[in-house]
């Protein structure tokens, strides 16, 4: 193999300098790690020596990956990439992928605001102390290190096992890190190649870990920010801000820049974070769905999982469309978003005396108490209803309140467009795409966001009243909102297109109107014309729910340092709840209907119960390999994910759904009977006895054997088998049905949702 590799590269050496100069771009090259000729001391030497030989410039090799991925990122033209694909040493050559960001009272809402006493059998003091040894790595837009959320007062010395560092930059001194923010790095070569053609060129963006966007500071402080008293966004949501694991350490890896997050940079960040020694990896970003061997985040996360690192990723903001999920690998915790029991009401009083309620975070002087003229879709521009830049004619808008349809451009930008055209207020009205979901924004002018039903009434009023008027007013911060949580309409939905037999998302967490730390280099709207500065901001997205779960995983890791990532994941899933604070089933903000596991997964996380789940569904690396082998991938594809040459797929599941997953997704297809086995591990008391309770649709019979599990010892494992039988007369076009399996005793309820589908097609 080594001789063949040398011959092949020698051939390339002769061929490639002769190729005409073509446009270059970044490619990620997946290598057969184990075919490195012995003449090269390191894989980096192997990659760089040959790339420099076959390229006319010396800046071709961007990154060498050794841990999260086996291979490298390089600047190549299409012919060079094609020649690389012909090598036996190369498993794959892929164009760099652009991923996007999936852009307070939360701890109290989650039952975390207890500074003394017992927490599911753990004293708060012990848990805080144990959390000091847990390191949360966040891959995002960097960090604003001066934020009070990263104050290290009272924190002990940094764990000696930590191998990370604080990188300096033109706007970032290494001294800005401390015992709380223990690492800060940046990775920008993929971004530079995409935006300028060479990573050697100076960028307008400073190459440092400093956060110029705000997103990374928000997510990292949500996961593990320190306590900050009197936090608010310009007076809204005033209170103590804190992360989920306020005593854990934070390490940031800046992989996202002005144009997004490139796969080559994300991989480099994951590669480094694993070596640095993080315990949790949090990624509030994603792309579309693709096979796991083509998914750089999934491949990097596999190595992290194997090394005991919990990986939490956002599900995406492409809801309420079905099958819109990102980050669906079973070794990743896929997190959807729900609402909090806090709201920011605002009101629109129309000239017909009707008063409608919406939401807003506007903090200026307001409109006063005199109604003004209301306009909608006026003028010659066909896109004026959307308030796109340049679409509003000042003569129709000046001094008036404008109704803008939600969609296409950013919500806050619409307000900026209205203000620029001379408007003095805005009613942002949902259309069918957003339904009844309301997201509050820190608008630049008096503005209120309303749902589709109210929006339709307002639009009808404007179009049919001879002199329509409106007055907008604001209600501040309101707590104990009912019902809550509600699944956010934007939260991406199942089913899982990559592996329909794995139910995704896994859980939901708080992701709407979340207050957390912010970058002071940018206003709360992120718009250029927004000159306001705030140390905190309120944001929405699965980007916000993901770090909640990352922080909770850090708490569970502190309480149970010997638990695997799969055990932590199982604990969070099987203890999640599916009823809101009115004791009704969770609802969907998109249309007010009942939610289901394709939207909320196992339910909304409940940290107190997750600390003591009773039983867990554990999954080993070998189990994941058997799962991958059941997907009809080539052996090379499996090896590319697992990164081991000796994988033979001698053990594989007859069905991917055989994986010991804490939830079930049953796809009948041409079969009437689907049978899965599961194994539970006792992490509760010795001598625990559990009995099963099953719910399901009338057209499916569910049988569990045995119906009673006895665990004599802690750590003992017991198996059960569940058989799903679809009735003969069941309509095969039935879109979906749902059920659950619960193992329960007086102390614990270990619940698994079930999704049923009769075809693999999405209707």
Same domain, 691 and 737: yes
CATH number of the CATH domain containing 428? 3.50.30.30
What is the full DSSP assignment across 545-567? HHHHHHHHHHHHHHH-TT--HHH
In a domain, 100, yes or no: no
Q: Which of 582, 611, 640 is the last residue before a domain boundary? A: 611
Q: Are the C-beta atoms of 328 and 502 separated by less than 8 Å? A: yes
Same domain, 311 and 369: no
In a domain, 630, yes or no: yes
- Catalytic: 434? no
pLDDT, tens digit (0-9, with 9 covering 90-100), for 258-316: 888 999 999 999 999 999 999 999 999 998 889 999 999 999 999 999 999 999 999 99
Q: Which domain holds residue 690?
A: 660-762
pLDDT, tens digit (0-9, with 9 covering 90-100), for 361-417: 999 888 999 999 999 987 777 789 999 999 999 999 999 999 999 988 889 999 999
Per-residue CA distances from 678 to 442, 706, 718, 738 (Å): 48, 11, 8, 19
pLDDT, tens digit (0-9, with 9 covering 90-100), for 29-52: 998 888 888 888 888 888 877 676
User: Among residues 96, 140, 265, 276, which one is catalytic?
Assistant: 140
**Number of domains within the chain:** 5
Same domain, 273 and 252: yes
Pairing, β 673-682 against β 700-705: unpaired
pLDDT of 203 reads 58
CATH number of the CATH domain containing 84? 3.30.70
- Catalytic: 218? no
Q: What percent of the chain has pLDDT over 90?
A: 74
User: How far is Cα 708 from Cα 705, in angstroms, rounded to an integer?
Assistant: 8
Q: How confident is the model at residue 226 (pLDDT cuts 50, 70, 90)?
A: very high
pLDDT of 126 reads 76
User: How far is Cα 342 from Cα 481, in angstroms, rounded to an integer?
Assistant: 6
Same domain, 249 and 115: yes
State mean pLDDT over 203-212.
86
User: Among residues 188, 220, 442, 543, which one is catalytic?
Assistant: 543
Q: Does the structure show a pLDDT above 60 at 238?
A: yes
pLDDT, tens digit (0-9, with 9 covering 90-100), for 641-662: 999 888 999 999 999 999 999 9
Q: Which of 421, 446, 474 is the last residue before a domain boundary? A: 474
User: How far is Cα 298 from Cα 304, in angstroms, rounded to an integer?
Assistant: 10
Q: Does the structure show a pLDDT above 50 at 728?
A: yes
| 83 Ramachandran zone, left/alpha/beta (phi>0; psi -120 to 50) | alpha
CATH number of the CATH domain containing 505? 3.40.50.200
CATH number of the CATH domain containing 697? 2.60.40.2310
Q: Are the C-beta atoms of 471 and 369 separated by less than 8 Å? A: yes
Please give the residue that has the higher pLDDT: either 197 or 526: 526
Same domain, 407 and 489: no
pLDDT, tens digit (0-9, with 9 covering 90-100), for 540-557: 999 999 999 999 999 999
Same domain, 368 and 454: yes
pLDDT, tens digit (0-9, with 9 covering 90-100), for 425-447: 999 999 988 888 888 999 999 99
Per-residue CA distances from 249 to 366, 637, 652 (Å): 41, 36, 39
Please give the residue that has the higher pLDDT: either 173 or 437: 173
pLDDT, tens digit (0-9, with 9 covering 90-100), for 451-504: 999 999 999 999 999 999 999 999 999 999 999 999 999 999 999 999 999 999
State mean pLDDT over 68-73.
92
Q: How confident is the model at residue 199 (pLDDT cuts 50, 70, 90)?
A: very low
pLDDT of 115 reads 45
Same domain, 353 and 451: yes
pLDDT of 57 reads 56
In a domain, 145, yes or no: yes
In a domain, 165, yes or no: yes
State mean pLDDT over 61-75.
92
Same domain, 85 and 185: no
State mean pLDDT over 215-231.
95
Pairing, β 118-119 against β 122-123: antiparallel
Of 173-177, 252-256, 756-760, minimum mean pLDDT range = 756-760
Q: How confident is the model at residue 189 (pLDDT cuts 50, 70, 90)?
A: very high
User: How far is Cα 586 from Cα 554, in angstroms, rounded to an integer?
Assistant: 26
Q: How confident is the model at residue 763 (pLDDT cuts 50, 70, 90)?
A: very low
Same domain, 376 and 412: yes
Q: For all residues of the chain together, what is the average pLDDT?
A: 90
Q: Which of 72, 95, 118 is the last residue before a domain boundary? A: 95
Q: Are the C-beta atoms of 98 and 194 separated by less than 8 Å? A: yes
State mean pLDDT over 134-142.
97
In a domain, 530, yes or no: yes
In a domain, 10, yes or no: no
pLDDT of 32 reads 83
pLDDT, tens digit (0-9, with 9 covering 90-100), for 323-354: 999 999 999 999 999 999 999 999 999 999 99
Q: How confident is the model at residue 4 (pLDDT cuts 50, 70, 90)?
A: very low
User: Among residues 33, 70, 192, 215, which one is catalytic?
Assistant: 215
pLDDT, tens digit (0-9, with 9 covering 90-100), for 666-697: 999 889 999 999 999 999 999 999 999 999 99
In a domain, 561, yes or no: yes
Per-residue CA distances from 299 to 29, 131, 190, 311 (Å): 13, 28, 18, 12
Same domain, 43 and 171: no
Q: How confident is the model at residue 103 (pLDDT cuts 50, 70, 90)?
A: confident
Return the closest-CA partner of residue 619 out of 659, 658, 653.
659
Give the distance, in angstroms, between the CA of residue 627 and the centroid of all CA atoms in the same chain.
23
Helix axes of 296-306 and 263-276: crossing angle, nearest 10 degrees: 10
User: How far is Cα 273 from Cα 251, in angstroms, rounded to an integer?
Assistant: 8
Q: Does the structure show a pLDDT above 70 at 120?
A: no
Same domain, 118 and 255: yes
pLDDT of 16 reads 44
Same domain, 627 and 591: no
In a domain, 433, yes or no: yes
Q: Does the structure show a pLDDT above 50 at 107?
A: no
The pTM for the full model equals 0.92
User: How far is Cα 610 from Cα 571, in angstroms, rounded to an integer?
Assistant: 5
- Catalytic: 140? yes
């Amino acid at each position: 193999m080594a001789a063949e590799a040398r011959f092949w590269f020698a051939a390339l050496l002769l061929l490639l300098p002769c190729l005409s100069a073509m446009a270059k771009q970044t490619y990620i090259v997946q290598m057969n790690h184990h075919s490195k000729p012995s003449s090269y001391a390191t894989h980096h030497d192997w990659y760089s020596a040959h790339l420099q030989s076959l390229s006319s410039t010396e800046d071709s090799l961007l990154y060498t990956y050794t841990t999260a991925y086996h291979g490298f990122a390089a600047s190549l033209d299409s012919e060079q990439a094609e020649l690389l694909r012909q090598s036996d040493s190369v498993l794959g050559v892929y164009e760099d992928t652009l991923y996007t960001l999936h852009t307070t009272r939360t701890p109290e809402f989650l039952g975390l605001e207890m500074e003394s006493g017992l927490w599911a059998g753990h004293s708060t003091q012990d848990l805080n102390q144990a959390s000091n040894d847990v390191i949360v790595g966040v891959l995002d837009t960097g960090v604003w290190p001066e934020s009070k959320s990263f104050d290290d007062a009272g924190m002990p010395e940094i764990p000696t096992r930590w191998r990370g560092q604080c990188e300096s930059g033109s706007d970032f001194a290494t001294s800005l890190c401390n015992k709380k923010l223990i690492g800060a790095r940046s990775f920008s070569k993929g971004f530079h190649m995409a935006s300028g053609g060479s990573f050697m060129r100076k960028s307008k963006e400073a190459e440092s870990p400093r956060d110029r966007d705000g997103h990374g500071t928000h997510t990292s402080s949500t996961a593990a920010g320190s306590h900050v008293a009197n936090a608010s966004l310009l007076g809204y949501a005033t209170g103590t801000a804190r992360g989920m694991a306020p005593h854990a350490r934070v390490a940031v890896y800046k992989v996202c820049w002005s144009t997004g997050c490139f796969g080559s940079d994300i991989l480099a960040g994951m590669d480094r974070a694993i070596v640095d020694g993080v315990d949790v990896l949090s990624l509030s970003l994603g792309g579309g769905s693709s096979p796991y061997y083509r998914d750089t985040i999934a491949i990097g996360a596999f190595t992290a999982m194997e090394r005991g690192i919990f990986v939490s990723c956002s599900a995406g903001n492409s809801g309420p469309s079905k099958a819109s999920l990102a980050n669906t690998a079973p070794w990743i915790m896929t997190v959807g978003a729900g609402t909090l029991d806090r709201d920011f009401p605002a009101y629109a009083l129309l000239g017909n005396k009707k008063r409608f309620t919406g939401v807003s975070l506007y903090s200026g002087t307001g409109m006063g108490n005199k109604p003004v003229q209301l306009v909608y879709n006026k003028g010659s521009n066909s896109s004026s209803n959307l308030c796109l830049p340049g679409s509003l004619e000042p003569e129709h808008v000046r001094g008036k309140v404008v109704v803008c349809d939600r969609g296409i451009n950013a919500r806050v930008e619409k307000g900026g467009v209205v203000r620029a055209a001379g408007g003095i207020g805005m009613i942002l009205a949902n259309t069918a795409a957003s339904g009844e979901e309301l997201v509050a924004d820190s608008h630049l002018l008096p503005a209120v966001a309303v749902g589709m039903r109210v929006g339709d009434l307002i639009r009808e009023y404007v179009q049919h009243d001879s002199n329509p008027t409106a007055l907008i007013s604001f209600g501040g911060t309101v707590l104990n909102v009912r019902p809550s949580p509600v699944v956010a309409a934007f939260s991406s939905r199942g089913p899982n297109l990559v592996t329909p037999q794995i139910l995704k998302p896994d859980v939901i967490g708080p992701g709407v109107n979340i207050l957390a730390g912010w970058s002071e280099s940018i206003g709360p709207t992120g718009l250029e014309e927004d000159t306001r500065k705030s140390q905190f901001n309120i944001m929405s997205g699965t980007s916000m729910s993901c770090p909640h779960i990352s922080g909770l995983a850090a708490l569970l890791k502190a309480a149970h340092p010997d638990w695997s990532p799969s055990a932590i994941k199982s604990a969070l899933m099987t203890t999640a709840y599916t009823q809101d604070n009115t004791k009704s089933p969770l609802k969907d903000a998109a249309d007010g209907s009942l939610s289901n596991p394709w939207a909320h997964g196992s339910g909304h996380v409940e940290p107190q119960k997750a600390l003591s789940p009773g039983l867990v569904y554990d999954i080993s690396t070998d189990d994941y390999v058997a799962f991958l082998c059941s997907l009809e991938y080539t052996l090379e594809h499996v090896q590319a994910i697992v990164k081991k040459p000796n994988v033979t797929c001698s053990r594989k599941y007859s069905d991917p759904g055989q994986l010991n997953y804490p939830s079930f997704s049953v796809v009948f297809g041409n079969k009437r009977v689907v049978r899965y086995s599961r194994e539970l591990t006792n992490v509760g008391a010795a001598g625990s006895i559990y009995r099963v309770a099953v719910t399901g649709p009338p057209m499916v019979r569910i049988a569990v054997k045995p119906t009673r599990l006895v665990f004599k010892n802690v750590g003992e494992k017991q198996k059960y088998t569940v058989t799903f039988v679809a009735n003969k007369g069941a309509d095969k076009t039935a879109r979906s049905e749902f059920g659950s399996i619960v193992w329960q005793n007086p102390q614990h309820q270990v619940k698994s949702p079930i999704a049923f589908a009769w075809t693999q097609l999405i209707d």
